[in-house]
Amino acid sequence: MAAIGLALVMAIPAHAAEAPDYETATATLAQYKQAIEKRDLSGVEALFAPGAQIFESGGIEGNFAHYRDHHLAPELKAFKSFAFRDYKVAVRGEGEVAIATETYSYTIVLPNGETIARDGVATSVLKWMGDKWQIISLHSSSRKPKA
């Protein structure tokens, strides 16, 4: 019996680990959403893998650093406020990859008081990096709400 037990232990690879909890990927997405609402991107790059790719409304934005520096940060700086509402997220998993679909509405208030309302959807692909989820691909789009 001891020999069988030892053989079974040796047959299981030492690197075998439990599958990641896919629902915890939503925490990474929530941190990103909160940073956008605060209009403060400090530390947000840690939520993205180094080679992550960002796609927005039909455009290729490049990696997160490029998107942050040339698109997102300047926009957020120009807004008086940014608020999400009716946010919903669904996550499914495939091995060390989580695929999330987010739906939401958001409102932007410009410094002159003008308000912009949009409905949005995003698909995020996150990879389990051993101790945390990181976004490896983010594709979002938005449109004016239907009347």
Length of the chain: 147
- Non-local CB neighbours of 99 within 8 Å, separated by 6+ positions: 91, 92, 93, 123, 124, 125, 126
CATH architecture of the domain 20-143 equals Roll (3.10)
Judge whether residue 13 has pLDDT over 60.
no
Residue 18: predicted pLDDT: 64
pTM for this predicted structure = 0.85
Residue pair 133/25 in contact by the 8 Å Cβ criterion: yes
Least confident of 10-19, 31-40, 46-55, 66-75: 10-19
